Amino acid sequence: MSDVWTRNRAWIALLTAVFISSACVPALQEHRDSEVEQVIPQGFADQGSDEPSTARTDWRAFFEDPNLQRLIEEALANNQELHILQQEIRIAASEVSARSGEVLPQAGVGVDAGAGKPGSYPLERHGPRAAFEGDGRVGTEYGIGVYATWEVDVWNKLRSATKAAFFEYVATFEGRNFAITALVAEIANSYYELMALDQQLQVIDSNLAILKDALEVVRLQKQAARVTELAVQRFEAEVFKNQSQRLDVLQQIVETENTINVLVGRYPQPVTRNSADFLEITAKPVQAGLPTQLLENRPDVRRAEFELKAAEMDVEVARATFYPSLSIDAGVGLRSDRSLGLLATPESVFVGSVANLFVPLLNRRAIKAYYQSANAAQIRAVYEYERTVLTAYVECANQLSRIDKLSEALERRKEQVRVLNRSIEVSTILFNSARADYLEVLTTRSEAQESQLELVETKKNQLMAVVNMYRVLGGGWSEQLVEATP
């Protein structure tokens, strides 16, 4: 009976320590399951469909302008932010390797020398210890050997930490994909804004040429006493106003070009584009698909999902810190009380192993704080995921509505420009026949120019709305850009 007790008392001690530790895991004041309680609507206010989302369309097929395609290709190759995110991916991959390595035994070569006085019952784990035996006097000891240690992952703490690092690693990929989506959209928007500025400059130049011709006519009419000096001054002021607007547009063109150059990763230089047919560009049709497709297509939603899984694993790691940890140490080598005695084999050869059981009893406040912090981070990740999904849905709904409204507004703007251009001809005829004064002519020209500029602005907003719809659906990043996970 005593032999059975001797053989099993280690296991009894282990089970007792486990029971005590598990019973001491503190209850959390606030706890929420990792299950997301959010219910996604079935559609976008009757505007969604079960057709494939436009997000699956490659950006090369979505943006057909070859000049814009070249800019995006150059940006994907040279953009500094993408390079930074690529290094973060490598850092995360190294963290996965480091965490996975902790599960495996650690081994190395060690050399030691020491002195001490043994107790009455010295531990014979390293072979002969003649220096520490005898009359209890202080002795020396030298050793060299190969040592190994292995923490037995009884509670899956190390494996959970590896999984957490892996989910963080995958989340960095999704973060890079999200940056690609934003980069492609930002370049396209800036490109269309640049083309719109070219069109506005063309409108101002055309109107400025007409105003200068009209100014010469008014000056001749003043000489003929048909108008006063006031009319001449008003026409001159209108010319100066357009010249000032022209300088403003030129400055905006420079700044927009440099914005694109920064995104592309190059120093300031002209941006190649063809703005002549800007108003004739057909807005690309988009399919929103089902709201549930946002969970698959939007990189920020996918990133939030993986970060949530990583937070769940962190909670498991924190919970496992309350349980006992078991490690096994082993060694083989040479040990002697004299340095030259290390060469006296086989007497100096030792082989030994020991199992260590560590039960956290003191300083549990730090362990408890770590556990509570991990749980709070997990709850935060749930809310962040729900917020990301909600934001994605609202952005899609807003852009769908915006595209519809801008398409209708664009037609109204075209009609307004057509009517006001006709009114210019009428006002000019009436003015030349002395049936309208110069103020009516100036007002009509000013309103016509303003309507033309607003038409260009509306067209730009329509194209940018389509680009933003492509972005909020999760388009722009390509499957080919995703590297294989470790």
Domain limits, the chain:
28-104+155-323+364-481, 109-152+325-358
Determine the Cα–Cα distance for residues 262 and 260; give it in Å rounded to an integer.
5
- Looking at residue 219, what is its pLDDT? 86
Instruction: Choose among 53, 39, 57, 161: nearest CA to 101.
Output: 161
Dig out the tokens for 195 from the structure. Answer: 């083309």
Q: Which CATH superfamily is domain 28-104+155-323+364-481 in?
A: Outer membrane efflux proteins (OEP) (1.20.1600.10)
Dihedral sign of CA atoms 213, 215, 221, 223 in order: negative
The rounded average pLDDT for each run of 10 residues, N- to C-terminus, in the chain (486 residues) is: 55 58 57 65 65 86 95 95 94 92 87 68 44 56 86 89 94 94 96 97 92 83 80 88 95 97 95 93 88 87 94 92 87 79 74 82 81 92 93 92 92 91 77 68 83 95 95 81 45
> Residue 476: left (phi > 0), alpha (psi -120 to 50), or beta?
left
Dig out the tokens for 456 from the structure. Answer: 């260009």
User: How many Å is the Cα radius of gyration of the chain?
Assistant: 38
Instruction: Output phi, psi for 290, to 5 deg.
Output: -90, 150
CATH architecture of 109-152+325-358: Single Sheet (2.20)
Dig out the tokens for 424 from the structure. Answer: 């210019």
Determine the Cα–Cα distance for residues 54 and 376; give it in Å rounded to an integer.
37
- Looking at residue 136, what is its pLDDT? 55
- Looking at residue 355, what is its pLDDT? 84
pTM of the full predicted structure? Answer: 0.83
- Looking at residue 128, what is its pLDDT? 42
Helices (H), 265-343: 294-297, 299-320
- Looking at residue 483, what is its pLDDT? 46
Q: Are 71 and 191 a contacting pair, CB within 8 Å? A: yes
Q: Is the peptide bond before 41 cis (omega within 30 degrees of 0)?
A: no
Dig out the tokens for 205 from the structure. Answer: 């130049």
Inter-axis angle of helices 438-472 and 157-223, nearest 10: 170
- Looking at residue 480, what is its pLDDT? 47
